[in-house]
Chain A
Amino acid sequence: MDLFLQYLANGLVIGAFYALSALGLTLIFGLMRVVNFAHGEFYMLGGVLGWFVTAHLGLNFFLGLALVAATMATLGWLVDRFLIERVRGQGEEPGILLTIGLSIFLVNATLLVVGPAPMKVAGAFAEGPVFIGPIIVTKLRLLAVAVGAAAILAAHLLIRRTRLGRAMRATFQDPMAASLAGIRTKHVYAATFALGCTLAALSGMLLASVYSAQASIGGLVSLKSFVVVILGGMGSFAGAVAGGLLLGIAEAMWGGYVATGMVDVIGFVLVILILLFRPQGIFSARAERA
């Protein structure tokens, strides 16, 4: 029983991490319909910049997190205005090719600048185990889950409760009608992309403090995030959380009771099953347009 509880706890924590790292993609892929293969690289940049601002500029963790967020928001805005905007409305292909090119560029430019070594991001406080009954977690993991939950909540409120959020929802439902209603859709797209990019980078820095940061980690993150977004249903925050937790727990149980070697296969099998039997995802109620 204790073993089961520990597996469940592991699954929940990892699931929360998956949800967190997929949030940005929920916006960019789920809402904007850009099949963004540079997502993992935004995540990676968050970790690498996090290392730079804490180890080199000497900022404390939370100040560093804010600086990284601001930098990556700017980068996201620029990427959208100068790159993504030019292929908007042309189907998936140009976006896929563009983001593949962008990801190749970002990985290798990072490699040139900071080198290939793994980097340690100093966490907010000293690492140490926390005991909850028979279960062990660590302080940094709990912090990452808490900050992740706060980020999810903030993004949710932003989209549901603010003017910008209303403009976003209007734009993604019907861009033509939205622009007729006076919404500057270009800015809305750029703001959404910037937000997605920021969320990816935040998760990258948080998780780099738990694990480590390295130039080459992006590819795996992109794949896992696509799995989470599809599982949860495109463009739904609640769905991303559910998709992340489902994936995390399924992997923990499979790894615990069967074998750890094939654990990555679970996500893809789940994706295939979900798309066959419930293509709108677990959470999203409405069917997809077009």
Chain B
Amino acid sequence: MTLERNTLLVALVGALLLPFAVTDQYLLHLAVMALFYVVLATSLNLVVGYVGEFSLGHTAFLGTGAYTAALLSTHAGLPLWITVPVAGLVAAAFGFAIGAITLRLQGPYFVIVTLAFAEVLRLVANNWIAVTNGPMGLAGIGQSGLTDKREFYFVILALAALALYLSYRFVYSNAGRAAVAVRENRYVAQSIGVDPFGAAMQAFVLGAFMAGLAGGFYAHYISFVGPEVFQFAFMATIIIMVLMGGKGTLVGPIVGAVIVTLLEEYLREVQELRLTLFGLIVMAIVLFLPNGLMGFVARRREQHGSTILRNTPAEEKTV
């Protein structure tokens, strides 16, 4: 617990210093995108890692958040610090509604039903022209006076810190422990009085809230939102991050988000081979690091009793 907390704090300090060390706008852009994915991966991790159910519908919340912020900004002209929190709340409301329906299902059924919800929302966004402008999307979303990448960086860093703080509080709360108990053994947990549905619901709504925040930020940063925010491609990227980093740990999704963001960009060097290699790397991770990178590190620590874990994530962050 303390180890995890200290690691996160060191990472935060490193992340705070980063924009003063890096002036290259491209690297700063990558850092912003990496932190955007940190928020998303952390939010998905609450459901996948702590509730133990595999949601493929997380883009539903990313997308509702993005559309909420985009609509508030383009129609009402509201600034980022209002639209992003509202985006989170709207996504949380969607999370509550969708969770109430889907969390009654488990295993492959849960996987497919969450995916179905995200697809329904995508098709609605694509066809409800009057509100969403359909496939033409919403362009020219205001940037609320943020002109410098560094300012965007601090906004998304604050959101990432908030997401991790909320996750931390959840994981070490009674609800979080209850969720883990359900994940490990549903029946034993029920026998000692844990309500599996309630614990899962809390994690689900919290995850939706954070994904909505990330979506709101995305809308302002990219300045364009279309139905592609609901697409499965986004989902695949987030899953790869969570599982590559190591689900069920707070540090894992951070590591996964940073590495995958850099990997996807770095692989531009190999031109046409880029995605082919990316697919191979994903497969290799599943086969050779079954518990993700953090699982691998944890096992090494057990074997050597060393303190590698303490410092490495901070190193990662100070890209």
Question: Could you list which residues of chain A lie within 8 angstroms of chain B, going by C-beta atoms?
Answer: 29, 33, 35, 83, 86-87, 90, 92-94, 96-98, 100-109, 112, 219, 223, 226-227, 230, 234, 261-262, 264-265, 268-269, 271-272, 275-276, 279, 288, 290
Contact = CB atoms under 8 A, between A and B. Distances in A.
B279 A103 contact: yes
B290 interface: yes
B108 A100 contact: no
Nearest to A265: B123
Interface stretch (B64-72, B192-200, B204-212, B236-244): B236-244
Contacts of A107: 275
A276 B110 CA distance: 11
A141 B164 CA distance: 55
Interface stretch (B14-22, B112-120, B298-306): B112-120
Contacts of A108: 274-276, 279
20 contacts: A29-B108, A92-B54, A92-B111, A93-B48, A97-B239, A97-B286, A98-B283, A101-B280, A101-B281, A104-B275, A108-B275, A109-B279, A112-B272, A112-B273, A226-B112, A264-B119, A268-B120, A272-B101, A276-B104, A279-B109
Given A112-B273, A265-B124, A268-B119, A230 B109 contact: yes
A35 B111 contact: yes
Interface string B66-99: 0000000000000000000000000000000000
Given A97-B286, A272-B117, A275-B113, 16 more contacts: A86-B287, A90-B290, A94-B290, A96-B54, A97-B240, A101-B281, A101-B285, A104-B282, A108-B276, A230-B112, A262-B127, A268-B120, A268-B123, A269-B116, A272-B113, A288-B109
Contacts of B279: 101-106, 108-109
Interface string B33-44: 000000000000
Interface in B216-258: 232, 236, 239-240, 243, 247
A205 to B, nearest CB: 23
Contacts of A104: 236, 275-276, 278-279, 282
* Centre residue among A92, A96, A101, A265 by max chain B CB count within 10 A: A101
Contacts of B115: 223, 226
Nearest to B106: A290
A112 B276 contact: yes
B105 A275 contact: yes
B101 to A, nearest CB: 7
Contacts of B119: 223, 264-265, 268
B145 interface: no
Contacts of A262: 123, 127
Contacts of A269: 116, 120
B101 A219 contact: no
Q: Is the interface of A mostly helix, strand, loop or mixed?
A: helix
Nearest to A34: B108
A35 B285 CA distance: 18
Considering the complex of A and B, which 4 residue pairs feature the smallest CB-CB distances, nearest first? A105-B279, A101-B282, A104-B279, A101-B283
B259 to A, nearest CB: 15
A223 B278 CA distance: 22
A35 B36 CA distance: 28
Contact of B282 (A29, A97, A219, A223): A97
Contact of B108 (A112, A227, A234): A234
Nearest to A276: B101
A138 B109 CA distance: 37
B220 to A, nearest CB: 29
Contact of B290 (A35, A87, A230, A288): A87
A290 B116 contact: no
B287 A93 contact: no
B112 A275 contact: yes
A26 to B, nearest CB: 13
A62 to B, nearest CB: 32
Contact of B283 (A83, A288, A290): A83
B108 A92 contact: yes
Given A93-B243, A94-B286, A100-B240, A271 B116 contact: yes
A33 B48 contact: no
B182 to A, nearest CB: 14
A288 to B, nearest CB: 8
Contacts of A105: 276, 279-280, 283
Given A93-B48, A100-B239, A261-B127, A35 B108 contact: yes
Nearest to A103: B279
B132 to A, nearest CB: 13
Nearest to B49: A93
Contacts of B281: 101
Contacts of B105: 275, 279
Contacts of A112: 272-273, 276
B111 to A, nearest CB: 6
A104 B235 CA distance: 13
Contacts of B287: 83, 86-87, 98
Contact of B286 (A98, A272, A276, A290): A98
